[in-house]
Amino acid sequence: MEAIKKKTYFVMVIVTFIILITSLHHLILQKQSPDVVLEELYYIPILLGALFFGVKGASMIYLFASLSYLPFFFGGWATTFLDLMDRLLHLLFTGVFAFLAGFLVDRERKQQKELDKERYLANIGQVATTIVHDLKNPLITILGFARRIREGKGKTESNAEAITDSAQHMQRIVNDVLDFSKPIKLILKEEDLRNVIKQVSDSCRTKAEQRGVPLFIDSSVHPLNIVIDSFNMQRALINLINNAVEASDKGQEVKVTTEAKKDYLYVSIKDHGSGIDKETLENIFTPFYTRKSGGTGLGLPIAKKIIEGHKGKIHIDSKKGAGTEVIIELTYQKEIEK
């Protein structure tokens, strides 16, 4: 529907432009100023028609412009034979121009479409290769320990535990792929962001305590009410805070700060770990790109997808040896387009 409205708007603009050119031409010739010509201006709407609609659009605009121009071949407008030839040549050249411009635009679009298709297929191949690679190691582990159980080797309990851990790892990979591949469905309601942050910190505190990483929450004393999907926002924040905890050594603090700005709510997750190198930082939101052993490379892309689904922004600032800060901006809007 939006695309139809946009096309209709462009058509109206182009048609109005042609009518304006024809009217000006008519007024100028009425005032006995034949030396002032406006034929060349017809190239502009024809070019616009080609750019927006290709060869078909350019042809339709050319026909409409030609019909608008036809009255100047008759009556008092056609003063001499040279005038008639000039106008005929104008119609011929604008027709050739309309065809060539539309043809080139259509060819460029076709080439771009084929290129996009090739990239899409290449991406599918890359994704399939990555998924198979990530699933291969836990699958090998499962088969190996299942063989040990069948042959009566090792302790059954430890063998079963290894199989369970590998199966859960495979399940996590599959779930991450499914979460990333499908659109995020947001169930929106007004929440106090401070409560969401508290629930997230409670979920992450166990891991932080196990690693000896202090987790500090610096939240606003005033309510931070905003329309969000609390469940999905918690998923995104848990992923980001856990990453910060995992990047920190024992005793290095992870600090989560929330603050109300003029037009948005600000959330900062800062660690004092070893930082991120330039290559990793450039590819940090690329699906399946990871430097962590056992990671799927989908945690950050999913978090980014959730935050952008809320019309928010996420930015990561990091330097090697100087820690990392994740900055999230969430707007105060009361309604989100679906």
Q: Are 57 and 7 in contact (CB under 8 A)?
A: no
CA dihedral 270, 273, 279, 282 (to 10 degrees): -10
Residue with tokens 């997230």: 200
0.95 surpassed by pTM: no
Q: Are 276 and 324 in contact (CB under 8 A)?
A: yes
Residue 89's pLDDT is 82
d(CA 168, CA 244): 23
The dihedral region occupied by 288, where left means phi > 0, alpha psi between -120 and 50, and beta the remainder, is: left
**67 Cβ contact list (under 8 Å, min separation 6):** none
Q: Are 310 and 186 in contact (CB under 8 A)?
A: yes
Residue 337 counted as domain residue? no
Residue 338's pLDDT is 45
In this structure, the answer to whether residues 215 and 77 fall within a common structural domain is no
User: For residue 321, what is the domain's CATH number?
Assistant: 3.30.565.10
d(CA 106, CA 56): 9
In this structure, the answer to whether residues 98 and 155 fall within a common structural domain is yes
Residue 52 counted as domain residue? yes
In this structure, the answer to whether residues 175 and 195 fall within a common structural domain is no
Closest to 234 measured CA to CA, from 286, 186, 176: 186
In this structure, the answer to whether residues 255 and 113 fall within a common structural domain is no
In this structure, the answer to whether residues 176 and 195 fall within a common structural domain is no
Six-digit token string for 187 = 């169930």
Residue 259 counted as domain residue? yes
Q: What is the domain range of residue 311?
A: 189-331
* Model confidence pLDDT, tens digit, residues 231-244: 889 989 998 999 89
Instruction: Count CB atoms within 10 A of the CB of residue 134.
Output: 24
Instruction: Count CB atoms within 10 A of the CB of residue 163.
Output: 19
Q: Are 54 and 7 in contact (CB under 8 A)?
A: no
In this structure, the answer to whether residues 290 and 194 fall within a common structural domain is yes
Residue 269's pLDDT is 94
Last residue of a domain, one of 182, 215, 246: 182
Residue 314's pLDDT is 93
Residue with tokens 């409560």: 195
Residue 109 counted as domain residue? yes
* Model confidence pLDDT, tens digit, residues 11-70: 787 888 788 877 777 776 666 554 445 677 888 888 888 888 888 888 888 888 888 777
In this structure, the answer to whether residues 195 and 159 fall within a common structural domain is no
Question: How would you write the pLDDT of the chain (338 residues) with one tens digit per residue?
Answer: 666 777 777 778 788 878 887 777 777 666 655 444 567 788 888 888 888 888 888 888 888 888 877 777 665 555 677 767 777 887 888 888 889 988 999 998 888 888 888 877 776 666 676 677 667 778 888 888 888 888 888 787 888 888 888 888 787 778 777 777 777 788 888 989 999 998 998 888 888 998 999 999 988 778 888 999 998 899 899 989 998 998 898 999 999 999 888 788 999 999 998 888 888 888 888 877 777 665 667 788 888 989 998 989 999 998 888 889 999 999 875 544 44
Question: Do β-strands 215-218 and 225-228 pair in parallel, antiparallel, or remain unpaired?
Answer: unpaired
Residue 328's pLDDT is 94
In this structure, the answer to whether residues 172 and 207 fall within a common structural domain is no
- In the chain, the number of structural domains is 2
Residue 2's pLDDT is 64
In this structure, the answer to whether residues 201 and 172 fall within a common structural domain is no
In this structure, the answer to whether residues 169 and 267 fall within a common structural domain is no
Transcribe 130-185 into DSSP letters: HHHHHHHHHHHHHHHHHHHHHHT-S-HHHHHHHHHHHHHHHHHHHHHHHHHHSPPP
Q: Are 241 and 204 in contact (CB under 8 A)?
A: yes
d(CA 236, CA 238): 6
Last residue of a domain, one of 182, 207, 230: 182
Closest to 331 measured CA to CA, from 184, 180, 182, 193: 193
